[in-house]
Amino acid sequence: MKFSFIRLGAVLHKELREYRRSPFIVLTMAVLPLVFLIEPLITIFRIGPSVAASTADRAVSGTFLVLLIAPALLPAVIAAYSVVGEREQGTLEPLLTTPLRREELLLGKAIGVVVPAVGLAYVVFAVVQVCARLFASNTYVVSALGQGSHILAEILFAPLLAGWSIWVGIGISARASDVRVAQQLGTLSSIPPLAVVALVSFDVFTPSVTLAVVFALILLVADVILFRVVSALFDRERLITGASAQRAPSAGGQVPPAGTVRRIPRIGGSDDG
Amino acid sequence: MEADTTTAARGEPPSGKPPALVVDHLTKRFGDRTAFEDVSFSVAQGEVFGFLGPNGAGKTTTVRTLGTLIAPTSGSASVAGIPLTMDNGPEIRQHIAIMPENPGLYRRLTVTENLQLFAGLYEQRNATVRIGEALEAVNLTARARDLCGSLSKGLRQRVGLARALLNDPAVMFLDEPTSGLDPVATREVNDLIVGLRQRGVTVFLTTHRLEEAERLCDRVAFLNTTLRLVGRPDELRERLFSRSLTVETLTPLAAPDDVFNSAVGVESWRPEGASSYVLSVTDPRNVAPQVTRALVAAGADVVSISESRHSLEDVYLQLINDDPEASPR
Ligand SMILES: Nc1ncnc2c1ncn2[C@@H]1O[C@H](COP(=O)(O)OP(=O)(O)OP(=O)(O)O)[C@@H](O)[C@H]1O
Ligand SMILES: [Mg+2]
């Protein structure tokens, strides 16, 4: 049976519906971006008109880092909940009794997280740009914010970082035994790619369009590999029973040795008495 | 192991159609715990097959294995005519429906929204119509817009059943569909199973309600890690209990031996209470008039003569009592 976009769509639709009704997720979605909006705005407004170009530039780079934390962190928390949450609710077993493939389930869940997280990140980014243009007193800040490499980096990195966090989060989720552990590990998982972004922001690497594209490509490849790994980690049997099918049964214990199977009395149908 | 592989010994169904389920020496172990072992039976298309056994007998694990949720440790099976392999999983799941012990609904979604997800997963084109029919079948149309979190256990169970109806399954696995339901709700679920049977759906029903199994099932199987018995409920009764008549008289008989030995077909008898006797007989319908005549000839005041009925529960208890391995786990 082939990959089905109808099934993927059904999962996605359900995910978005559930998010809308989940106070925890709505609150996280609302509060986290706000927090990440305030910090950049304060930075931008505090840079006076007389501040030198290099200082302004550095501040703006720091701002970009902050703007990318939201799309990296938010999905990690939500994705980590995805599989364990279903398992705890008891909704995973019915899902797995349908023809749904694991790739469809995982992609449906991932897209369900990416779309709101990246959407919010773009909105926050746009608000920062508009506010800078309207109110920033330092002209270098405005031009640094409007730099092609910065805009490209934000547009590319937001979904790719989100992708990273989601796959790691779902991967942990598919193996973790309870929600809280999954979420804590998930949050930690967003740190490695952010560290690289931080290096760029703090001029350890000079930001440029080329660097942004190269780093984006690396992230893209990492996302695809992670998706494969997570799909492989998704073990139906383990999810249902908490044990893997792979584990070989050991002899002894309750298992009687071969050949000791009890005689089973059976009665057949009417045609053979 | 039994060398006998005739259809009777393998618990095969009476019908000539290709079977809906064939299970052949299937075993499932979790580490060194055996959930079920060397289970073989088959179920005909359109049959309602009861799967009985004490807690921990392996019923749910059998359902999960046949439903491709978990892999068997050894043995083979075919479900809806498709060999049970992990590669065939999606194909098998397209043709079956499983209602798990716990219906597992999304509590934040409405009844309809829950069903919409599953209609999508079965790639149903006219989902709205199907969902309407499924809700109608379980009598839930009025609650379609309620959040599942707000439903009672019985209503949730019915949503689970509606969900199982969505893909028009060839084989439906129902794992204790009436556990925790009140008598009216139970009767409704039972009627639904009768309806499924009329539509030709094969039903694999696990239950602890033996009167339900007796009423609904064409055949039942007793599992207690291994399969103990398979057959029609009346055949099982006959097999485990000799046929008997219960005779009750107003006053104790003076010479019961003389009376009962004069009636042809009475194999043995034993007193049960002061003026009540249980007679072991070859054929209750033919022997009852003889016994009556003998009693009247002896001047006894007959209160009643009736064929002793054994319920499936008696069969079950008899099996479990006889079973040294039947300790609860
Ligand atoms: N995931 C698991 N890991 C280890 N053992 C398990 C697992 N699932 C079931 N078992 C064991 O397998 C046996 C059969 O369990 P199962 O749930 O199939 O019984 P059941 O017949 O459905 O019982 P009940 O009537 O209580 O529902 C039990 O001994 C159980 O402890
Ligand atoms: Mg069970």
Report the nearest-CA residue for atom 3 of ligand 1: B30
According to the model, what pLDDT value does residue A265 have? 39
Cβ–Cβ of A266/B118 closer than 8 Å? Answer: no
Ligand nearest to the CA of B37: 1
Residue A241 lies in a domain: no
Dist. CA B225 → ligand 1 center (Å): 10
Strands B171-175 vs B202-206: parallel, antiparallel or unpaired: parallel
Determine the average pLDDT of the residues in A51-68.
77
Determine the average pLDDT of the residues in A68-81.
78
Ligand 1 atom closest to Cα of residue B101:
27
According to the model, what pLDDT value does residue A242 have? 66
Q: Look at residue A271 and tell me whether its pLDDT is greater than 90.
A: no
Q: Look at residue A7 and tell me whether its pLDDT is greater than 90.
A: yes
| CA–centroid distance for B205 within its chain | 6
Cβ–Cβ of B123/A7 closer than 8 Å? Answer: yes
Structural domains of chain A, count: 1
Ligand nearest to the CA of B223: 1
Interface pTM, i.e. ipTM: 0.77
| Distance, CA of A271 to CA of B16 (rounded, Å) | 10
Do the beta carbons of residue B248 and residue B292 sit within 8 Å?
Answer: no
Q: In whole numbers, what is the pLDDT of chain B averaged over residues?
A: 87
Residue A86 lies in a domain: yes
Do the beta carbons of residue B90 and residue A1 sit within 8 Å?
Answer: yes
Report the nearest-CA residue for atom 12 of ligand 1: B35
Band of residue A56 on the pLDDT scale cut at 50, 70, 90: confident
Band of residue A10 on the pLDDT scale cut at 50, 70, 90: very high
Q: Could you tell me which residues are beta bridge partners of residue B263?
A: none
Which one, of B248, B237, B239, B247, lies nearest residue B312 by Cα? B237
Q: Which of A148-157, A254-263, B194-203, B237-246 comes out lowest in average pLDDT?
A: A254-263
Find all residues with CB under 8 Å of A229, minimum gap 6, and list them.
A167, A171
Mutate to test the interface with B, among A86, A234, A262, A272 (most CBs of B within 10 A): A262
Residues in contact with ligand 1 by the CB-under-6-Å rule are A 241-243; B 30, 33, 35, 53, 55-61, 329
Residue A75 lies in a domain: yes
Residue A21 lies in a domain: yes
| Distance, CA of B175 to CA of B97 (rounded, Å) | 11
Give the domain extent around A166: 5-234
Residue A20 lies in a domain: yes
Against a cut of 0.90, is the pTM above it? no
CA distances from A217 to A156, A196, A213, A224 (A): 9, 14, 6, 11
Tens of pLDDT, residue by residue over A24-47, are 778 877 887 788 788 888 888 888
Cβ–Cβ of A18/B106 closer than 8 Å? Answer: yes
Residue A253 lies in a domain: no
Q: Which residues of B touch A271 (CB under 8 A)?
A: 14
Determine the average pLDDT of the residues in A45-54.
79
Q: Which pair of tokens denotes residue B224?
A: 């207690």
Q: Which of A80-89, B169-178, B188-197 comes out lowest in average pLDDT?
A: A80-89
Find all residues with CB under 8 Å of B249, minimum gap 6, and list them.
B275, B276, B277, B295, B300, B301, B302, B303
Determine the average pLDDT of the residues in A161-188.
78
Measure A136 CA to nearest chain B CA, in Å.
44
Closest residue in B to A11 (Cα–Cα): B117
| Distance, CA of A266 to CA of A247 (rounded, Å) | 33
Which one, of B32, B46, B28, lies nearest residue B201 by Cα? B46
Residue A269 lies in a domain: no
Which one, of B232, B196, B181, B209, lies nearest residue B13 by Cα? B232
Residue A53 lies in a domain: yes
